[in-house]
Structures are given as structure tokens and as C-alpha cells.
Amino acid sequence: MKRNTDVTAEPQTLLSGLVVGESPRWHEGRLWFANWGAQEISTVDLEGNSDVVASGPVPIGYCFDWLPDGSLLVTGHDRILRREADGSFVTHADLREFGIAWNEIVVDGRGRVYANNVGFRFGQEEFRPGGIVLVTPDGTARRVADNLAFANGMLVTPDNATLIVAESFAHSLTAFDIAPDGSLSNRRVWAPVGGDGICLDAEGAVWCSDVGGDQPVVMRVREGGEMLQRIAVEVACFACMLGGDAGKTLFLMAAEWRGIDRMGELFQARTGRILTVPVEVPHAGRP
């Protein structure tokens, strides 16, 4: 008999009125997130109190993470930006020679930065594969993976041994071994499931969000593809993150998805919401 993996708790709305919430990160007791389309990075606490912590005119609002010294990094169209003490943004790494449309970013426990790109202007150009670039603490950048089919959510395991990236167009969570110098090797399918934003829990399972399909779901999967839990959501979920006081709150970045041809409506409608669901297994912690 098939085991029922559905999470019965009803998702609760923590915050609404966003354009599209993305890149959620639990940091310093609050959820940080990018409000795509509004060119803002904001925070929200567990009571729903929200603040804008960074905004344009520089092209921010994509994905972000922090260096060990606390500096905020943000991916832009052709570079990684770093926020200075006065709130301004400067170029941390110019990535033009490696491509455009830089998307997700993750900093490992050694201060090395991994950034991926989708490889083309989504909604404007035909598909081209993207890749992953490594930026070392001395500022050197080099490509460490290529031929990714729309690289999306990305994480590094707490032991700094494995990088997992969601290849949305390949319907796959793809894993690499991380070498001592940060290089990636042993590319493999970690789980044959689709996903956008992803996060890791303390048992080594991955929560992955889903944008497409008639019934969007958020899935908790084990390496190999076994589905451990699933949460049905009314609209597309663009990313998910574990956090909260005990690390057992799953935050879902939800918004109506109307297709590539209607992306303009998505940015105008402000259907974006942050939903919360209690779960049993806490987050894995940062590398």
C-alpha cells in the first residue's frame, strides 16, 4: 500500500503583498528574502513584521548570501555585488566572461562563493545551458561546472563535501563532490525530481519547491528520489527555507505563476506571499 506522505498542517500566511518572493535565508533570527520585481531585499520576523534592508537603483533583488565577515553578496545580471558598510553596493566579482543571467549563490564554510547562471535571458531568448562559477576568497573566479539546464536553487552540505543544485529544465537535483580546492567533480543525479529553491534538513533530506504543474507541491526527498513528505500549495512555490527559533518552520515563497508569456502580469499583480508550515526535522545549519 502506498504510504501517505502528505503534510496535514495547513500553510499559514506570514506576509503578503509581495511581487515574487525568492532566495529565502534564515539569518540572525529573521527570514531574509528577495522581493523580485521590487528590487528589494527584505526581512520578516515570526510575527509578520517586515523591513526593507536594501533596495535599488543597482540591479539587486536576485539571490544573496553572506561572507564569513558578514558582508552581504547579491547576484546581478553579469556580476556579484557586495554591500559596503555605508549601504552602497560594489562589484565583488565581474562574471561577464562566464556568461549572463546569474541566479543562485551559496557561500560554503570556507568562505568560497558558488554562483550559477541560467545562461540566457529568460522569456526573451531561446534556451542555452548555464553553469557554476567559483569565486575564491582571494577574488579569483573560475568555471567549475557547465551544461546545466536552468540552474536554480543551490546548497552546500555542512561538511563542505557536496554541492546540490536544482536543474529545473532537467527535472533533477544534481550533486557534485567538492574538492579541497573548491573544484566540482563526480556529477550525478541526487534525486530525479524537479525543483526551484531548495534547502537541506538535519537528516540530509532536501525540501524542494515547485513552480509548474496543475497542482504545485513542495517535496521533501531523500537522496535517490524517495519522497518523504509533500505539501500541496494553491499557487506556485518559488523557494523554500527552514528556520524559526528551533529550525522547524518551513517558509514557502508563493505567488501566482501565469507562464512565461505573462510574466509582466506577475510583476504587476503582487500576488506574492510567504507561507509557513511546521515540520519535525530542523534545518541542517550553515556550513
SS (H, E, C) 61-84: CCCEEECCCCCEEEECCCEEEEEC
The SS3 call for residue 262 is helix
Strand order in the sheet with 130-135: 102-107, 113-117, 130-135, 141-148
CA distance 256 to 238: 10
Positions of the chain with pLDDT lower than 70, given as ranges: 1-4, 7-8, 57-61, 121-125, 212-214, 258-268, 286-287
Please state, for a pLDDT cut of 90, what percent of the chain lies above it: 70
Model pLDDT, residue 87: 87
CA distance 214 to 218: 13
Model pLDDT, residue 38: 86
Model pLDDT, residue 266: 60
At 263, give phi and psi (nearest 5°): -65, -30
Model pLDDT, residue 258: 62
Domains of the chain, each with CATH number or no CATH: 12-278 (2.120.10.30)
Q: Which helix (H) or strand (E) holds 191?
A: strand 184-191
Model pLDDT, residue 275: 98
Rounded alpha-carbon distances, angstroms, from residue 261 to 120, 124, 167, 266, 282: 16, 10, 21, 10, 38
Model pLDDT, residue 1: 36
284 contacts 106 by C-beta, under 8 angstroms: no
Rounded to a whole number of angstroms, the distance between the first and last alpha carbons of the chain is: 38
What DSSP designation does 11 have?
P
β-bridge mates for residue 279, sequence order: none
What pTM value is reported for the model?
A: 0.93
Q: Which residue has the cell 540566457?
A: 120
pLDDT digits (tens, 9 = 90+) for 91-132: 999 999 998 889 999 999 999 999 999 877 665 668 789 999
Alpha carbon 23 to chain centroid, angstroms? 4
45 contacts 32 by C-beta, under 8 angstroms: no
CA distance 98 to 265: 31
The 10 Å Cβ neighbour count of residue 96 is: 9
What b-and-e string marks burial along 136-162, b requiring 16 or more CB atoms within 10 Å of the CB? Answer: eeeeebeebbeebbbbbbbbbbbeeeb
Q: Which residue has the cell 531523500?
A: 222
CA distance 221 to 49: 31
CA distance 68 to 111: 6
